Structure 1
Amino acid sequence: MTTFNPLRLDGRHILVTGASSGIGRRTAVMLHALGARLSVVDRDEAGLVSLGAELSAGEAVAQHVADLSDIAGIEALVGRCVDAGGRLHGVVHCAGIQAIVPVRTLQIDGWRRIFAVNTEAALMLGKCLSSRKVYAGQHGAIVFISSVMGTVGSVGAVAYSMSKAALDGMARSLSLELASRGIRVNCIAPGFVRTPLFEQTERLWDEETKRAVEDLHPLGFGEAEDVAHAVAFLVADTGRWITGSTLVVDGGYLAR
């Protein structure tokens, strides 16, 4: 007798952006292990090839190299994903730019690129999934990776915080618009998670600063798998009655 598992994603086609490393890569690995067919997107071709080798996936994973700051090109990208793997059941937008830039040195082109990848690309992906040509018609789920910085402030994170706060608000409205189509829309707001992006920031800290930041997380720094687990919960039937929410996965950071 087969035991029902609401986390299983067998037969579902999920698009994952930012899949070459960090949270995106762990998310792709997790969803693949749960049975999903994947279209993985990143601008790092070598990283995608490495991911495919890790999964030993064959036809279960289709790789697409793209720079998501090209908003106008996303519709064609999604079309290629559908052509290669069939219509989509869900989208997980993990791609993002995290930059520590003091406002006095922040340049227009810089903050617009952050906003384009973190927020505008998410909106375009949601718009694409709303199309009958793209959406498989059932089990619809969109998950955007936001940040605790969308709720609280941090020195040097003006553009990043702006992009994530806007992402949270956009997702709430999008969830209402797509509910009639059976597509759920949620965000996940991680705290500080050990990823290659975080390691770049961590190198700028001395030991005292590192301890101070880690102490802000009662459970310590997170791992990419911690966020991937939350993504799986929201994408699968375990999250079927959750929409318009931001799930905080931060080791207690916002509890202080």
Structure 2
Amino acid sequence: MNLSDKRILVTGASAGIGRACAVLLSQLGAKVILNGRNLAALEQTAAELSGDGHVCAPFDIAATDKLSEWVKALIKEHGYLDSFVHCAGIQVTKPIRLFDQALFNETMHINLASAMAISKGFRLKRDRSKQGSIVFVSSIAGLIGQTGNTLYGASKAGLMSLTRGLAMELLRDNIRVNCVAPALVATEMAKRTQVSMTEAQFQHMVNQHPMGLGQPEDVANAVAFLLSDAAKWINAVTLPVEGGYLAN
């Protein structure tokens, strides 16, 4: 799991799973390009990284039509990208009676369309002698049904399907595409989820995790494995990282 001198783009690097991924990848020797909307938060992540050669690259990934060109510009300025980790995402807990077009567009743009748009830019002008790797951070919400979480789950299930499709399409570019599907992880997003529920509802969710809630580092470990040469023959898979939730 040595990532020395690999240059890796991490979206959603401002906090939570994205920040944990960036920190671990830097510890494994990678040069990390940190993406998020808030430069100050990205700089806080950068301060925690090991090694040097890291870059903060703030950009709003909701601007999907501009993402491919943005990735091309990153490569031109900072050098060849070996891998890409898509941690960015939003979760809004709402029942179907509150569904509207704006919520759909925002969720699908940020959670799903951005992944495809960045992948479009990532695949350009590849050195096919070098194996590239993409890892999407999905959610077990894409594998199960959760009241009030239907749209979010649909977007994350879309990421799993995108993983399989792109894994086949990008074989010719020597790019592997895989996905991790965490259960509830102790992050800022989990805190926002808790606020949107009653205490009893949130406790019920916690009780469904036999090994307790996950930590961002638990997901980062799985991501690092899938990026590394230790997983060079693993492609098109979704790896649940869920502390036994799905067996419950």
**Which band: TM-score by shorter chain?**
over 0.9
Q: Please state how far the C-alpha of 1:207 moved relative to its aligned partner.
A: 4.2
CA contact (8 A) 2:22 2:49 kept: no
Residue of structure 1 aligned with 2:82, choices 89, 97, 102: 89
- Give the match for residue 215 of structure 1: 207
Aligned partners of 2:145 and 2:197: how far apart in 1? Answer: 18
In structure 2, give the amino acid aligned to 1:44: N
How large is the RMSD of aligned CA atoms in angstroms?
1.5
Does 2:157 correspond to 1:175? no
- Give the match for residue 3 of structure 1: none
- Give the match for residue 36 of structure 2: 42
Does 2:184 correspond to 1:189? no
Q: In the TM superposition, what are the counterparts of 1:1-256 in structure 2 within 5 Å?
A: 7-55=1-49, 58=52, 60-132=53-125, 137-256=129-248
CA contact (8 A) 1:30 1:229 kept: yes
Aligned residue-pair number = 248
Q: Structure 1-normalised TM-score? A: 0.92
Q: Please state how far the C-alpha of 1:44 moved relative to its aligned partner.
A: 1.4
Aligned partners of 1:210 and 1:108: how far apart in 2? Answer: 27
In structure 2, give the amino acid aligned to 1:41: N
CA contact (8 A) 1:94 1:145 kept: yes
Instruction: Give SS of 1:251's match.
Output: coil
CA contact (8 A) 1:62 1:81 kept: no
CA contact (8 A) 1:25 1:51 kept: yes
Instruction: Give SS of 2:177's match.
Output: strand
Structure 1 135/77 Cα, relative in aligned 2: closer, same or farther at 3 Å? farther
Instruction: Give SS of 2:225's match.
Output: helix
CA contact (8 A) 1:129 1:135 kept: no
Q: Please state how far the C-alpha of 1:208 moved relative to its aligned partner.
A: 3.4
Q: Please state how far the C-alpha of 1:72 moved relative to its aligned partner.
A: 1.1
Q: Please state how far the C-alpha of 1:203 moved relative to its aligned partner.
A: 2.8
Instruction: Give SS of 2:108's match.
Output: helix
Structure 1 35/154 Cα, relative in aligned 2: closer, same or farther at 3 Å? same
Aligned partners of 1:32 and 1:157: how far apart in 2? Answer: 33
Q: Please state how far the C-alpha of 1:206 moved relative to its aligned partner.
A: 4.4
Q: Please state how far the C-alpha of 1:56 moved relative to its aligned partner.
A: 6.2
Instruction: Give SS of 2:35's match.
Output: strand
Q: Structure 2-normalised TM-score? A: 0.95
Q: Please state how far the C-alpha of 1:130 moved relative to its aligned partner.
A: 1.6
Q: Structure 2: 5+ residue runs without aligned partners?
A: none
Q: Structure 1: 5+ residue runs without aligned partners?
A: 1-6
